[in-house]
Amino acid sequence: MSSYIARLPKAELHVHHVGSASARIVGELAERHPGVVPSDPDELKAFFAFRDFAHFIDVYLAVVDLVRTPEDVRLLTYEVAREMAGTQRIRYAELTCTPYTSVLPHDPDKGMAIEEYTEAIEDARVAAERDFGLVLRWIYDIPGESGLPAADATLDYALNHRVDALVGFGLGGPEIGVDRAQFRPHFDAARTAGLRSVPHAGETTGPETVWDSLRHLGAERIGHGTSSSEDPELLTYLAEHGIALEVCPSSNVATRAVASLEQHPLGAFVDAGVTVTINSDDPPMFGTTLNQEYAVAADLLGLDEAGLAHLARAAVRASFAPDDVKERLLGEIDEVDPEG
C-alpha cells in the first residue's frame, strides 16, 4: 500500500506556504535571520512540539517572521515545490499564502513591497513547473486574528496586484473570537473578481462557524470543517451542494482539534456522502507528509488501492485547476498499476 501511495499522482488543496517549510528550509532561513527559531534540526523538532492550537499559532508566526525578503520567499517557494514533487508525487498544489504577514507596511522593519512578494512567488512557481513538473496555484488568506486591516490589505493584494496563478481567497488563523460575518464584503469583492471562496472553519469551533462561512462568505470548499460531524443537517447540506472538506487528520490531532486519529470524523463525513480531500496542512510542523496522510485515510476508511485512487481523483475534481490540468492528472492516476 505504501508503495502504491508513493506512486500515486496527487493534488493537494490545503497546504500552507510557510507551513510547508521543512526543517532543512527553516534551518536555512533561521541561519539568515538568527533569533527565536533554532537552526539545529534536533532543536527544531522540539520547537515544533505543540501543546495546543494557541501554541501552534505562536510557533507558526515565529517561522513566518523568518520570511523577510524576496530572496527568502523565492527560497521557500522553490524548495517547498522540490520536496512536494519528489517523494510525495504531488502534481498540483494550491498553496495558501498570507502576504499580509510579510508585506509592507504591516512590518516596516522586516517587510517587503507587495510587488516584490508577488514577483518572488511567481518566479519560483514558473521555475518549479519547469524543473519539477509541479503546477502551483495560490490562495491568499486573511489572518483572521489581525481583523479588518488585514482583510482590507489582503483584498488589495488580490485585486490590485493580482497574478494569473491566484485562484482563491481564504481566511485562516484562530477561529475563536473571530466573527466570519465581518469579512463578508471582502469575500463578496473577491468572488466578484472571479476568486474562489475557501475559508478555514470548524477546526477549533463548532459547526456554526462552518454555517457562517457558507452563509456569509459563500464558501465553495471548507478548510478542515472538523466539527461538521456534530451537525447532521450541515453534513446533508455539504453533501447535497458538493462542498468539499479539506481534511487534514494529523494536523487536527497535533493541534488538539481532535483527541486522536481513532476519533477523527473522516469516516462520518464519507458515510454522509460529503466530498473529502486529504491534505497535510503544515506537514513538517506536524511531522507528516501527504503520503502519510493518505496512509492514515486508508487505515481510517479501510481503503484498498482503488479507494485511494478515488480519494486522489476527488482532490483533482475539487481543485481550481484548469480543465486541461485536471484531465491530465486524472489520466495519470488511472495509469498507476496497483501491482507496481
Considering the domain delimited by 2-335, tell me its CATH architecture. Alpha-Beta Barrel (3.20)
**pLDDT tens-digit readout, 177-228:** 999 999 999 999 999 999 999 999 999 999 999 999 999 999 999 999 999 9
Nearest to 196 by CA among 323, 319, 285, 79: 319
The domain limits of the chain are 2-335
The reported pLDDT for the residue numbered 107 is 58
The reported pLDDT for the residue numbered 147 is 96
Within 8 A by CB and 6+ apart from 324, the residues are none
The reported pLDDT for the residue numbered 108 is 62
Q: Which sequence positions are flagged as catalytic?
A: 203
The reported pLDDT for the residue numbered 48 is 79
Within 8 A by CB and 6+ apart from 202, the residues are 175, 209, 210, 222, 224, 225, 226, 227, 228
Within the chain, which residues score under 70 in pLDDT? 105-110, 340
Please, are residues 222 and 243 in contact by the beta-carbon 8 Å criterion?
A: yes
- 117 bridge partner residues: none
**pLDDT tens-digit readout, 55-69:** 888 888 888 889 989
Contacts of 318-327 with C-beta under 8 Å, sequence gap 24+, read 318/13, 318/221, 318/244, 318/275, 318/277, 319/11, 319/13, 319/92, 319/94, 320/94, 320/137, 320/167, 320/168, 320/196, 321/11, 321/92, 321/135, 321/137, 325/92, 325/135
The reported pLDDT for the residue numbered 155 is 98
Please, are residues 326 and 316 in contact by the beta-carbon 8 Å criterion?
A: yes
| DSSP secondary structure of 77-145 | HHHHHHHHHTTT-EEEEEEEE-GGGTBTTSSTTT-B-HHHHHHHHHHHHHHHHHHH--EEEEEEEEEGG
Residue 267 carries which side chain, given as an amino acid letter?
Answer: G
